[in-house]
Amino acid sequence: MYGEPRFLLAGDAALVVEFGDEISPEVNHRVHVLAHALEQNPFPGLGEAVPTYRSLLVHYDPLCLSFEEAKTFVLDVLGKCEEIPLPEPRLVEIPTVYGGEFGPDTEFVAEHNGLSVEEVVRLHSGATYTVYMLGFTPGFTYLGGLPEALATPRLPTPRKLVPAGSVGIAGSQTGMYAITTPGGWRLIGRTPATLFDPARIPPTLLRPGDRVRFVPISVEEFHTLMEGAKSGA
């Protein structure tokens, strides 16, 4: 983690505030603190602030501000961060059916780590995760906090289609596919929850900084919840 954040140019309408060169809870926390502080203290010309693992992308109107002026505003807000504490994070439970056709790589994850399939499910569902960032595709959720015992390399060749709601592992990360898309993560389960809906405000179920726990469910429960979601129940 850097002692002082670094400011980087990102085209003519954005800047990046970088807090460190490693992925860690401490670095990511600083990202979310600044994002919240900017939300509470917007400056003229501020657009969207997008949290990532270790930096914050700040969009601004180049017709109103230069890079240096935007940087000055952000530095001013950084100085107020201690006065603007983060609200308590939401804890969101994600119902998930593990293994089988919903998690075709569960057995590989188990074998790779010298575990049983039951241990994979127990470890994965027993942790509390933090939403580090959303990206890659709309609503894709990158989660920090995967138990080290579950770390597994991604697929050598990505799948052409990964169903929406799929829960996967790639290296030391776990995450969720919010829409059907190609992808190379090892799939261990699927949730019936609608993670991304463009007609919903906001369109994403989760937001950066949320806490997440996976709750194992049966195949029957999965289909019941899916039917409920389709009918609007």
Q: How confident is the model at residue 33 (pLDDT cuts 50, 70, 90)?
A: very high
Domain 6-83 sits in CATH 3.90.180.10:
no
d(C-alpha 63, C-alpha 50), whole Å: 20
pLDDT class for 232, splitting at 50, 70, 90?
low
How does residue 23 score in pLDDT terms, banded at 50, 70 and 90? Answer: confident
Residue pair 187/99 in contact (Cβ under 8 Å)? The answer is no
From 155, 181, 146, select the one nearest 166 (Cα to Cα). Answer: 181
Would you list the domain boundaries of the chain? 6-83, 91-231
Q: Which amino acid is it at 164?
A: A
**Bridge-partner residues for 181, per DSSP?**
162
- Pairwise CA distance, residues 138 & 198, whole Å: 9
User: What predicted TM-score, i.e. pTM, was given to this entire model?
Assistant: 0.89
Distance CA 124, CA 146 (A): 7
**Alpha carbon distance 215, 97 (integer Å):** 8
The CATH number that domain 91-231 falls under is 2.40.100.10
177 within 8 A of 188, measured Cβ to Cβ? no
What value does the mean pLDDT take over residues 201-205? 94
DSSP codes joined into one string, 166-182: EEEEEBTEEEE-SS-EE
The C-alpha atoms of residue 97 and residue 191 are separated, in whole angstroms, by: 6
pLDDT in tens, 82-123: 777 788 899 999 999 999 999 999 999 999 999 999 999 999
Cis peptide before 163 (omega within 30 of 0): no
Q: How does the average pLDDT of the chain come out, rounded?
A: 94
What pLDDT was estimated at residue 228? Answer: 76
Q: Which residues lie below 8 Å from residue 149, measured CB to CB, with a gap of 6+?
A: 113, 115, 123
In this prediction, residue 233 carries a pLDDT of: 52
pLDDT at 231 over 70: no
pLDDT score recorded for residue 2:
76
Q: What is the pLDDT of residue 72?
A: 96
Write down the pLDDT at residue 10.
94
User: Which amino acid is located at 64 in the chain?
Assistant: C
